[in-house]
Amino acid sequence: MTRVALLAAASLLLTAQAPAPTPATTITDPGSVLANAPADDWRPVDIENIVVFETTRGRMVLELAPAFAPMHIKAIRQFVAEGRFDGGAITRVQDNYVVQWAARPRPADAPALPIPLPPLPAEYEMPAQGFVFTRLEFADPYAEAGFIDGWPAGRDPRTKTVWLAHCYGMVGVGREAPPDVGDGTELYAVIGHAPRHLDRNLAVVGRIIEGLDAHASLPRGTAALGVYAKEAERTPITRATLGTNLADPPRFEVMDTASASFARYKAARANRSGFFVRPAGGLDLCNVQVPVRRATAAQQPR
């Protein structure tokens, strides 16, 4: 007998299409909540915010969060549009930490960029004003934990700031020691337990919504910090493309984290039954991955 009943984590991407809604009964499992969530409780992922990285391992789809690091994201879009990531590589995979990738180095004798980029500001947190923050009902060791527009986030009432949290799959911009803030040519995605101590210390620009699994399973680098010791160990990036430049861009939906469905989803995750003899009664910010799914044709904007 193969014991596989150890329950599934909420996948970052729910590849199965939701079945037709059934009459609401006592919903006690997260899957039922997702299946019964009305269309209005999902928000489409804006094609403007999609970047597709194609590598020799498959492709990673990045959703950008321009409300949180607008200048970094402007720089990333420009680098992608200029083809700077084409011929780049995954340069680092550190176990229980990050996958990191880099644009192709710019030759010293390359012509000037068409739109020179100003030095980037330290977009590590943002003034809270104007952000709708749905607070998680449970204690958090770092800050007020919650969600903003489909993103895991932190809030500090003292500094009156909000920021994106370093949960599994979230993407940030690598940098050197301060005052360097990174330039957007090196990105990392979290592939381990949430390194929340990085929150407010790096510019978080979005998350991988498809294809992280094929890259989280890359061999770990053997040099310090998981860097690949040899060029040959790197995974090449064959091409990076803005969603707006794709002929047939992938369409996704993210659950609206201010919706009743997401409230039910959190409650279901915190109070699971069936397999569970002792429901947790609590939930930590990064143990509730915000549901993301492929949009069906019917759900696409007309």
- 55 near a second copy, judged by CB under 8 A: no
- 225 near a second copy, judged by CB under 8 A: yes
C-alpha–C-alpha distance, residues 187 and 173, integer Å: 5
Min CB(195)–a second copy separation in Å: 6
Q: Is the Cβ of residue 200 or residue 243 nearer to a second copy in the bound state?
A: 200
DSSP 48: G
- 286 near a second copy, judged by CB under 8 A: yes
SS3 content of the chain, % helix, strand, coil (to 5): 20, 25, 55
| Residues 6 or more apart whose Cβ sits within 8 Å of residue 44 | 251, 252, 253, 295, 299, 300, 301
Q: Provide φ and ψ at 203, rounded to 5°.
A: -85, 115
Min CB(277)–a second copy separation in Å: 5
- 284 near a second copy, judged by CB under 8 A: yes
**Which residues within the stretch 9-28 sit at the binding site for a second copy (CB under 8 A)?**
9, 11-12
Select from 43-51, 109-117, 225-233, 235-243 the region that touches a second copy (CB under 8 A): 225-233
- 171 near a second copy, judged by CB under 8 A: no
Binding residue (CB under 8 A) for a second copy from 34, 75, 198, 203: 198
**Which residues within the stretch 124-163 sit at the binding site for a second copy (CB under 8 A)?**
124-125, 136, 138-143
Nearest to 67 by CA among 8, 126, 108: 126
Is residue 48 a contact partner of residue 244, using CB atoms and an 8 Å limit? yes
- 209 near a second copy, judged by CB under 8 A: no
Select from 43-51, 80-88, 171-179, 235-243 the region that touches a second copy (CB under 8 A): 171-179
Q: Is the Cβ of residue 175 or residue 251 nearer to a second copy in the bound state?
A: 175
Neighbours of 133 (CB within 10 A): 18
Q: Is the peptide bond before 178 cis (omega within 30 degrees of 0)?
A: no
Q: Provide φ and ψ at 223, rounded to 5°.
A: -80, 175
Binding residue (CB under 8 A) for a second copy from 94, 134, 238, 244: 94
- 239 near a second copy, judged by CB under 8 A: no
- 189 near a second copy, judged by CB under 8 A: no
Neighbours of 2 (CB within 10 A): 4
Size of the site for a second copy (CB under 8 A): 86
- 192 near a second copy, judged by CB under 8 A: yes
